[in-house]
Amino acid sequence: MFKLLMLVCSVQLASPACAAGDALDVISSPDSSHRIACASPSRARSADLALAGPTGLSGGRTIELGSHGSAADLLEALRAGGCKLGDKAEEVLARGPFIISRARADVELAVLSVAQLGFGAEGAPPAKLYARAAQLGLELCPPEIGPQLRLQYPDQPIGEYLHIAMAPLDTGNGSSVVFIVGNGGAGLVLLGAEPSPGFIAPASRRYVFIRPHRAADTVMRTNQHHP
């Protein structure tokens, strides 16, 4: 039997040094008894976490929360939709250690690069990025944003990877992850990256936040129309 493993590594790590133990996440293919069938997805270009320019969600996007009853339901919807899941992302969704919105509501997202948040070529750690975003009136995303954005963003450009600004999720096995929504050329993916102490995000990396006031207004209108 053969299995294809796609390793998603940081651009700060040279390609020959990208191994399973160093990868941000791993995407596994189903087992195959045929070498060619198993390796066929490898024609797509490698995932690159360094984003080149304001494409896709550069201006933000409104998505719906509360459309699924549990994290397990979201996982099944992702599988049914043909989305590829990193091992860490799949694990945290299967365990379901986060809260799903009980009612349907739209939230408006804001997508900003590290440079747009005011940091230069030297980049900045996530804690500083999140603090700067808070000064701009933005908030961290609830974990549901990751899988919901993956489901509701089918036209994501190839090469775009969006990092969900969120509190890390406990996987239940001693590690934690944050979500990444991307398209590396082999299909739409939802990844789970384990935060690294001392990590400095490069200037080109783009993060997804929510606009809380817009979200609150939308929820209020939803409640008014659906008592």
Q: How wide is the angle at C-alpha 131 spanned by C-alphas 60 and 12, nearest 5°?
A: 75
Tell me, what DSSP letter sits at residue 32? B
pLDDT at 56 over 70: no
> Residue 155 in 3-state DSSP?
coil
Rounded to 5 degrees, φ, ψ at 214 are -65, -40
Structure confidence at residue 59 (pLDDT): 56
- pLDDT grade, residue 174 (50/70/90)? confident
Question: Counting beta carbons within 10 angstroms of the beta carbon of residue 100, is it exposed (0 to 12), middle (13 to 18) or buried (19 or more)?
Answer: buried
Residue-by-residue DSSP string for 103-115: S-EEEEEEEEETT
**Measured between alpha carbons, how far apart are the two ends of the chain, in Å?**
55
pTM: 0.70
For residue 118, is it left (φ>0), alpha (ψ between -120 and 50) or beta?
A: left
Any idea which of 94-103, 161-170, 204-213, 218-227 has the lowest mean pLDDT?
218-227
What's the rounded mean pLDDT across residues 136-147? 94
- pLDDT grade, residue 9 (50/70/90)? low
Structure confidence at residue 96 (pLDDT): 65
Any idea which of 69-73, 128-132, 143-147, 170-174 has the lowest mean pLDDT?
170-174
- pLDDT grade, residue 82 (50/70/90)? very high
d(CA 6, CA 31) in angstroms, rounded, equals 14
d(CA 56, CA 162) in angstroms, rounded, equals 10
Question: Counting beta carbons within 10 angstroms of the beta carbon of residue 192, is it exposed (0 to 12), middle (13 to 18) or buried (19 or more)?
Answer: buried
Listed in order, strand segments (DSSP E) in 2-160 are 5-8, 25-28, 61-65, 84-85, 105-113
Give the model confidence (pLDDT) of 38-54 as tens digits.
222 322 222 222 222 33
The 10 Å CB-count burial string (b at 16+, else e) for 128-164 is bbbebbeeeebbbbbbbbbbbbbbebeebebbbbbbb
Return all residues near 51 (Cβ < 8 A) that are at least 6 apart. 113, 159, 160, 161, 204, 205, 206
pLDDT at 218 over 70: no
pLDDT at 206 over 70: yes
Structure confidence at residue 35 (pLDDT): 35
Domain ranges of the chain: 46-225
Rounded to 5 degrees, φ, ψ at 212 are -65, -40
Amino acid in position 91: E
Mean pLDDT of the chain: 75
